[in-house]
Amino acid sequence: MNFQNEKKLVRDFYKSLDAASGEGITSVLKSFTAANYKWRAFHPFNLKTDVQDVSDNFWQPFRHAVTNVQRRMDVFFAGDNFIDSGSSVWVCSMGHLMGLFDNPWLGIQPTGKMVMLRYAEFHQVVDGKITETAFYFDIPHFMIQAGYAPFQEQTAAHMVQPGPAPHDALLFEDADPNAGQSTLAAINFMIEDLGQWQSGLPLVEELARSWHDDMVWWGPAGIGATYTIARYAEQHSAPFRAAFTERSGTGHIARIAEGNYGGFFGWPNFIAKPTGGYLGLPPSDKSSEFRVIDIYRREGDKLQENWVFIDMLHYLKQQGIDILGQIKTVG
C-alpha cells in the first residue's frame, strides 16, 4: 500500500493554508478541494459544502483572533477505509494550532497570551483533490485556557495534551502494512468488545481485554485525561455508562490505521440518552448525538493511548444549553 500521493497533497495543503491570510485562505481551499467538497466540524460550524463559507466563517475569523498561528502536529498517517472495504483513502492528522489570542473569537474574550486549539482531522483524497474533511476541535478546551469554566464538573484532569509517548507518529513515509493491520484489528476488537457495554464482565476486566494496564486516555474538556485502566474506569468509563442509556450502535464514516496508529470518526458516532444525568446536569430523556474522533496508539496486541475529541457543545445544545450563546449574552 502506497499513500505517498495522498500524504503529499495534505502536507502541501497544510503548508499553503498555514501561509495564507484573508481571501488567500479561500484561494487555497478552492485549489486543494473538489467541487463536491464536504467539511464537517464541531458546533457551531457543523456541516459546510462551500469553501467560501468555510473560509468566511471558520478560518478567517480564527486566524484574526489567534495570530502567529503554528501548526504543531503530533500524529500523521493514512490508510484505506475499513468502513467501505478499502475503496477510499483518508489521511489523518492530530495536534494543536498554537498562537496568540489577540482578538475575540465566538464571543470568547482574548487574553493576549499563548493559546492552543486541540484538533484532529481526517481528509478523504480522490484524484488529487480533498473531497471530504472532518475537522474536530476542542472549543471548551480553548475556553478554559482563556479563563472560562464551561462545565459544572469534570471527572478527570484538564491539561494541554502531548502527543504519543514514543514521538514516532508522524508517518510521512509509509509504514509496514502488517503493523497497520494489527492496529486496525486491535481497534476493531475494542469496538466489538466494548462498544455496546454488554460484556457482562466487571468493568476493569472488560477494559483489560483491549487496553494495557497503564493506558492513557486523553479525553476532551468536560471529561479530561486519565491514566491507568483503574482510573479510566473510575474517572470516565463508569460515570459515562451510568449516565447514559439507550445507546445506539456505532456508526463511522472512516476507520483507518497505519503502523501503530489508527482512528475513526462518525457523524454522529452514536446516540444515547442521559437518563442518569451528566456533566453536573440532571437526568434527561432527550436523546443526543455524539460526534467523535478517536485516535489510538497500539503497543503489542493491545491499545496503549487514546486521544478523544467529542463535540461537547453540540451535546449540550441538544440538551437545551447553549454555552457559546451564554457567553455572548454575558459579553
Sheet holding 89-101, edge to edge: 47-48, 33-41, 129-137, 114-126, 89-101, 66-80
> Do you find a cis peptide bond into 274, omega within 30 degrees of 0?
no
Q: Is the pLDDT of residue 4 over 80?
A: yes
pLDDT score of 201: 86
Amino acid at 307: W
Residue 261 grid cell:
496508529
Closest CA to 251 of 288, 291, 198: 291
d(CA 52, CA 28): 11
Q: What pLDDT is attached to residue 1?
A: 76
Q: Name the CA radius of gyration of the chain, rounded.
A: 19
Q: Kindly report, residue by residue over 30-76, the tens digit of the pLDDT.
A: 999 999 999 999 999 999 999 999 999 999 999 999 999 999 999 99
In the chain, % helix, strand, coil (3-state, to 5) comes to 30, 35, 35
126: confidence class by pLDDT, cuts 50, 70, 90: very high
Q: What's the mean pLDDT in 239-268?
A: 94
Strands (E) in 112-197, as ranges, are 114-126, 129-137
Quote the CA–CA distance of 88 and 131 in Å, as a whole number: 11
* 198: pLDDT strictly greater than 80: no
| Gap between the Cα atoms of 99 and 59, Å rounded | 14
Residue 15: is its pLDDT beyond 70? Answer: yes
Tell me the pTM: 0.96
Query: Which of 265 and 331 is assigned the larger pLDDT?
Result: 265
φ, ψ for residue 40 (rounded to 5)?
-110, 135
Contacts of 302 (CB under 8 A, 6+ apart): 186, 210, 211, 212
CA 80 – CA 94 distance, rounded (Å): 18
Q: Quote the cell numbers at residue 258.
A: 497505519
- Rounded to 5°, the CA angle 212-93-291 comes to 75
| 16 closest CA partner among 34, 28, 33, 5 | 28
Non-local CB neighbours of 259 within 8 Å, separated by 6+ positions: 77, 171, 175, 176, 179, 180, 183
Tens digit of pLDDT for each residue in 128-155?
Answer: 999 999 999 999 999 999 999 999 878 8
**Strand, helix or coil for residue 189:** helix
* Domains identified in the chain and CATH numbers: 4-145 (3.10.450.50), 177-330 (3.10.450.50)
Q: Are 44 and 313 contacting, i.e. CB atoms less than 8 angstroms apart?
A: yes
* Among candidate residues 119, 109, 211, the one with its CA nearest the CA of residue 161: 119
Overall size of the chain counted in residues: 331
